[in-house]
Structures are given as C-alpha cells and as structure tokens.
Structure 1
C-alpha cells in the first residue's frame, strides 16, 4: 500500500477572486486546456498542469502511480502570511473549502491539509479547528512568518493548540533566504535555500528549547526529508558538546530530540534515503512525493520500494506510519 503524505493543489482561482486578497501579489490560475500557469497579478510564476486543480485528473495520476491515498496541501505561494488578517483569514477559509471540494471527488483516496493565517495565532488556531471539523486531517504551515521562526512564542502557541486538538502539522519551506542577488538562476533558491530553510526550522525548535515546552503528543512532520538536517546532525551534536552558546537554551543533546518529529521521504537518492532512515528511524519517515511538480518524485514510492531497506521498514514508510500519524482508518 502507498500513502503519499506530501502533494500540492491549487484551485481554479480567477484574477478577480485573488484581487480580494491583494491586487498586486495574490496568486491566481490561468488555464488553457490541460496546461496552466500560476500567476502573480499579470506575471507568470510557475507552469503547471491539470492534476494540480482537476480532481479527476488527480485520481488518474494516483492510478498511474499506484497510490492508494494522497494527502494534498496548498501550494506555498497561497499562504499570504504578509497580508492583513482581515483579508488573509477569508482567503484561507476559501482555499480550505476549495480543497475539500476537490477531495470530495473521492474522499477515501483524496485527503487534505488546511492552510491557516499564521501571522495571527488566534485566527490560525480557530481556522485549524474549523478546518478539522469540516474534514481536513491536519494543517500545513510554512517554516517561518517573516522573521519569526518556529520557536517564536506566537508559533509555539499555534503548535500547542494543534497538539491539544490532535491536529497533525506538516511544515513546508517557503519564502527562501538568500535573495536574488546571490541565487539569481538555475533554481538555486529551491536547490540551496529550501533545504536550509527546513534545517533552520528544525534547529529553531531544538536549540531554542521549544521542544521542552511543546506537548509530546504534537504530531509534526517536516517536508523534503527534513532538508539538510540528517546530513548535518553530527555537526550540530558536535557544536552542542563543544560550545556553551549552543547548549545555552537546549538542555539535551540535539540528536535526542529526533523522536519529536517526522520527515517525508522526498530525497531522490538511495544513499540519502538510507542515511535519513538511519538517522530518524524507519518509524519516523513517511512517503512524500511533492507531486505534481517537476521537482517532485516522478515515480512515487519507487525510491523506497527499490531501496535496500528491510521489508518491514518499507512497509512503515510507504503506508503504516502515515496511517498512525494522520489517524487514517
């Protein structure tokens, strides 16, 4: 069985609908048959195809890839964390309702994670609870809100709420560091800054001591295999042992917090997958494709299925862990 916990959608939002959020920057979708373009005002942002917005085409994709269940979440450009809450909250609600509408084509196979206006923790908590009551099985959040990383008190408040309400959280990198001056082409923000953003998000929770304050029952998963985290775990432990400034707010060795979060399997290389599983444990990795984007896994589950991992580890990663994490029947 295969359960893909990390895929994206973008509903058919017109330019007029997007203007209610922000005339200049709100994303909308221009389509031409099976092809489309995510637009920011009149500027093209990303070419896409119909599996991103068409439920029937998405289900055909699942059949082609032999995926039993796929969990969809917002394309991060939809987050709108820098917009006034009076406009951002209705936008999140609209996106969440449209996500459920897409999933209604086959609720047994299509599941959805909600987006929330994370710039306002109270509104984000309310929308997360509303979305859960409406049928979302969790929430997806960006790894930061402006200069606020996940250890910021407002985001700790939101994560604590999710723990209390038993709402699983997928953390996705976005709004990448670096800027256009040094990462001007070759998709360098996606190839360099995006893994670094996830590494930063995980370490902000570990080294700040935030995990000491968060409930242990919080279900937290980081996309893209945790970014560069597994590869650099030894460097972090060494720094903690050698420098008191690293230990200042982190009472335990950083690697001791590995049981507080999960990662997906979107690492694209068998050696990287092996390291990831050795670092996190097979019970902390879930199948994630990043579909239907070109930077996602093109043969969903192939990396795990054809790896040298034990069969029991494959079974856990391909489906069993996701069933438990998202409380799927």
Structure 2
C-alpha cells in the first residue's frame, strides 16, 4: 500500500530553525512530559513536535507496522514560510528539499518525497522545482495560494509553466484558515482547512487552468475539501452564468476528473461520493500522518490512482 499524504521534518530543518529562530520568530513551547514541544512559527503556525515527525527510524517503523510499503513524504505546511521575504522562504526550502532528497535516495523502497518551494516568488519557485526534480523529488507540496493571490492568477504563470514542462506533482495542502469567525472550538482545523482547499479547488476548476497546463498533476489534500459535495451547484452555475462557463469546455463535474484526491476523509460514504465523482483512477491513499487528525493507516489500496499519479 502507498501513502501519498505524510509529513516529516528532517534534523537539518530543525537545526536551521534554531539557528534562525529570531528571524522567523520560532518558539518551542514546553508541554507536559507525555508530549513533545509545541513549535510555533511567526506567532501563528504551531503544532506538536511528535517523535514521529522528527525521528526517521520511528517513522519507518510505524510505516512498517501499518503495512504501508511506500510513503510519499511532504514538508509540513506550517514551515512553508510564505509570510517571510522570498530569500528566507527559498533558503529553508533548499535545506528541507536537500534533506528529503538524501533520505529518499538512501531508502528508495520505503519512501519518496515532494519538496517545498517559495510560492511567494514564482520565478524562484520554478527554478527550485526544476532543481529538486532533477535531484529525485516527485514535485512539490504547496499552499492554496498566498495572501490575495489565487493559484489561477497570472502571478503564478512561471511556476505553472515549469510544472507543466516537468509533468510535476503539485500537492495542494491548505494552511489553517485565518477567518476570525473560526477562532473557537478547533474550527480553523475542523472546517477551515477543508474550506481553504474547497476555495482553491473550485477556482482552479472554473478557471480552466488544467486546459492550459494539462501535464501538471494537481493533487488535492483531504479529499478535495467540500468540492465533491457541491458539484451540482457548480454545474447549475455553469448552465446559468457566463461568468462560470466562460473559461470551460465542459461542466465542472467533468473537470474534477482531471485532478487527483487523497482519501483523508474518515468516512466511507464521503469517500464513495468522491470516487463516484472523480473516478477510481483519480483517488490515491493518504493519511496525513503523523498529525493529530490523521486517517492512519490510509483507506484502501487505490492502485489505479497511485499508478496514474506516478506514471
């Protein structure tokens, strides 16, 4: 079984964070003895540094115990560093990517990896994407955009052109929503995360971007957010409004079959709807391991999706 949605932080990245803690406002907050430190970056991106995030041997042991033959490892979204100047984002990206490339080369049967790129500087992102794929990585994990820039905006053209030429995987993984209405009851994670994916996915579908860049392999985290559940509404809008249909050659429900989706849904009925909507060959197993809300181990083999994404 593959697991296309896992996260890890190499020691080289932790060292960089400690050496540059004042620059990126990194803070290690002590918790009780049963838990690891809580790492907070720039005063808002925080998570528990579990041993499975930072210990390679433990990560591989957990993978074996769950009978997962191969994991595709991604950097953690909290370390995308899009809030900082592009030079800082590019620097930590290089450290992260070289570390993951070295590990995947050392254990190719067990893991492969996606890199992180400076999305806040698309020209730099394009160069880094090319470099890391030449170094053995499969593509990159990216956020759903930056600030007010959506991925369908011309701002990202240099990156998308390079990703298309390389036939790269772009794994779109949201950050926590900063909507002030969600600052309670873990709502930023519970619905803010899939909501950010939904916004990005709907925009990419309606933009017709995949017609322009047909070789980019876009993978949406968490089953595409709420997108599959509202396809009927998108199709109705396509029939009703020129603003919706102007960039498309088919209804939105056809376009979603040209992207990939992981299985991090925790609900078999939701997964069944996703499979019916996007097609079996577009679903890949994923867990989000080792975050708290991981679906571990991932649901099903989904061999057709794995093969089509890695082809």
Number of matched pairs:
309
Match of 1:311 in 2: none
Please state how far the C-alpha of 1:213 moved relative to its aligned partner.
2.0
- The answer on whether the counterparts of 2:21 and 2:27 sit within 8 Å (CA) in structure 1 is no
Bigger shift: 81-90 or 33-42?
33-42
Pair 1:16–1:10, CA change in 2 (3 A): closer
Match of 1:114 in 2: 115
Match of 2:305 in 1: 321
Please state how far the C-alpha of 1:323 moved relative to its aligned partner.
3.4
- Superposed, which structure 2 residues align to 1:170-189 within 5 Å? 170-179=171-180, 182-189=181-188
Mapped partners of 1:178, 1:82: distance in 2: 16
- The answer on whether the counterparts of 1:151 and 1:208 sit within 8 Å (CA) in structure 2 is yes
- The answer on whether the counterparts of 2:210 and 2:216 sit within 8 Å (CA) in structure 1 is no
Match of 1:4 in 2: 3
Local SS of the residue matching 1:189: helix
- The answer on whether the counterparts of 2:17 and 2:26 sit within 8 Å (CA) in structure 1 is no
Match of 2:266 in 1: 268
Mapped partners of 1:322, 1:27: distance in 2: 38
Pair 1:27–1:8, CA change in 2 (3 A): farther
Mapped partners of 1:162, 1:29: distance in 2: 38
Mapped partners of 2:34, 2:97: distance in 1: 24
Is 1:226 aligned to residue 188 of structure 2? Answer: no
- Superposed, which structure 2 residues align to 1:237-256 within 5 Å? 237-256=235-254
Local SS of the residue matching 1:111: strand
Match of 2:65 in 1: 64
Is 1:20 aligned to residue 4 of structure 2? Answer: no
Pair 1:74–1:44, CA change in 2 (3 A): closer
Mapped partners of 1:11, 1:262: distance in 2: 27
TM score, norm. by length of structure 2: 0.90
- The answer on whether the counterparts of 2:86 and 2:118 sit within 8 Å (CA) in structure 1 is yes
- The answer on whether the counterparts of 1:15 and 1:28 sit within 8 Å (CA) in structure 2 is no
TM score, norm. by length of structure 1: 0.85
Match of 2:154 in 1: 153
Pair 1:271–1:44, CA change in 2 (3 A): closer
Segments of 5+ residues of structure 1 without an aligned counterpart are 305-314
Bigger shift: 283-292 or 151-160?
151-160
